[in-house]
Amino acid sequence: MTGRSAGDGRSDGVRPLRSRLGTVRFRTTVAAVFVVAIALLAGGAALVVAMSHILTDEARTAASLRAADVAAALGAGAGPAQLAVGDAEELVIQVVDAGGAVVASSPNVRGRPVIARLRPGRSTTVDLALDDHPFVAVAAAADTGAGRLTVIVARTLDTVDESTAAVTRLLAVGLPLLLLVVATTTWKVVGRALAPVESIRKEVDGISAAELHRRVPEPAGTDEVGRLAGTMNRMLDRLQGAQERQRRFISDASHELRSPVATIRQHAEVALAHPARTEVGDLAGTVLAEGLRLQSLVDDLLLLARADEHTLQLRRRPVDLDDLVLDEARRLRSHASLGVDTSAVSAGRVEADIASLRRVLRNLVDNAARHARTRVAFSLAEHDGHVVLDVDDDGPGIPAAERGRVLERFVRLDDARARDDGGRGLGLSIVSELVAAHGGTVSVAESPLGGARIRVSLAGLADRDG
């Protein structure tokens, strides 16, 4: 038990460390330090190499000049005394004949063999026992009365080594300090930049389904974090609106479902309590009517749910919309004592799901017939590549302020267009959803007949083919 507790303690200590090491702030700081370190190391190495080459070239040039001076002196007849050097540890001079033998040298290498076998104009680096540092040797030709001689001058590279070592030590101390400054600056800057993100995270983490009214803080400015906060708040607006619509939808649907269920239950309870006074035919008729009403309501709710989930299955094919309009007009004439005007119906062809269009027309006709006093009129025409259908009635009309609401679900107005014969407030919302699924639009306006006009606009078939 003790060992397991100790292990759990270590795990609890490791988790916050791993969490901190996995943050954007930490990864950004590490990446910045890594990139700057690579750049500084490359730059520092290039600096040291370049400085070494420059100082070596300077030493080689100095040796070459001295070799040229010695060669000129020998050519003018000067003797070995001219080969004296000021610093026995920095400069070496040898004169070599054509056979490679040393004929004269500076005191610091007297008696030694030739330090380097070079042709005039060439140079090389040699190690001599005179100093801990290498020497750069340069050869020059001297024409004398005794024949052609080669002057070799070697100059120490101690200045090169000491200078490069000093710069290397300076870089070894300065680069870590500079990287520390970069890490500290990056950590603070990124932390300050991400502080609003952490505030947004904490606020979103505390928002539950019951608190969708809360919003995340929006920092000043229009940078990425500000746009993120704005996007989050707009998303919360949509979620809150969707939740409110869902609650209202569930409440309205429950209310509508309660009515037929209550009717069926009431008649069943009466039949059980008074079987002798209950007619089976009457009971069956009531149950059947309410069952059909219940089935129709459930079908409507399922259709709206599919529309919300964007899973409506539409089998599109060319459809003569005018034929469907005339079919619905004939149906209306057969069972309603209303004047039905189809004189303004002309040809209109669309690509759509015929079953969905029939349902759209059925709902439009039922809505118009429910509220019309004496007359319903249809018109169908093509305008600018769209097929436009108008359904007019001479009923009480819809106030301008309510025309957008009637396309919503379970919306009934409080005036003469309220439900009085079975309307559930879903007909026009289903029309709106089905038309939208076809890429069309639905609008409500005042009818020339005095009532309401419901207009449906769909893309014509020719426009789709184009």
User: CATH 3.30.565.10 spans which residues of the chain?
Assistant: 316-465
Look at the domain 224-308 and name its fold.
Helix Hairpins (1.10.287)
CATH number of 316-465: 3.30.565.10
Instruction: Read off the pLDDT band of 419 (50, 70, 90).
Output: very low
User: CATH 1.10.287.130 spans which residues of the chain?
Assistant: 224-308
pLDDT of residue 420: 40
The DSSP H or E segment spanning 96 is strand 91-96
For residue 139, the cross-strand partners are 152
Instruction: Read off the pLDDT band of 415 (50, 70, 90).
Output: very low
pLDDT in tens, 286-320: 888 888 878 877 887 787 777 777 778 888 999 99
Backbone angles phi, psi at 283, to 5 degrees: -65, -45
For residues 441-445, average pLDDT: 93
CA distance 333 to 324: 14
Mean pLDDT for all residues in the chain: 82
CA distance 296 to 184: 69
pLDDT over 70 at 5, yes or no:
no
User: What is each CA distance from 260 to 226, 252, 292, 296, in whole angstroms?
Assistant: 52, 14, 9, 11
Specify the pTM. 0.52
For residues 46-64, average pLDDT: 91
pLDDT in tens, 252-272: 777 777 778 888 888 888 888
Return the percentage of the chain with pLDDT > 90, whole number: 30
Task: Please check whether residue 134 is in contact with residue 164, taking contact to mean a CB–CB distance below 8 angstroms.
Answer: no
For residues 174-178, average pLDDT: 92
Instruction: Give, as one character, the DSSP assignment of residue 313.
Output: -
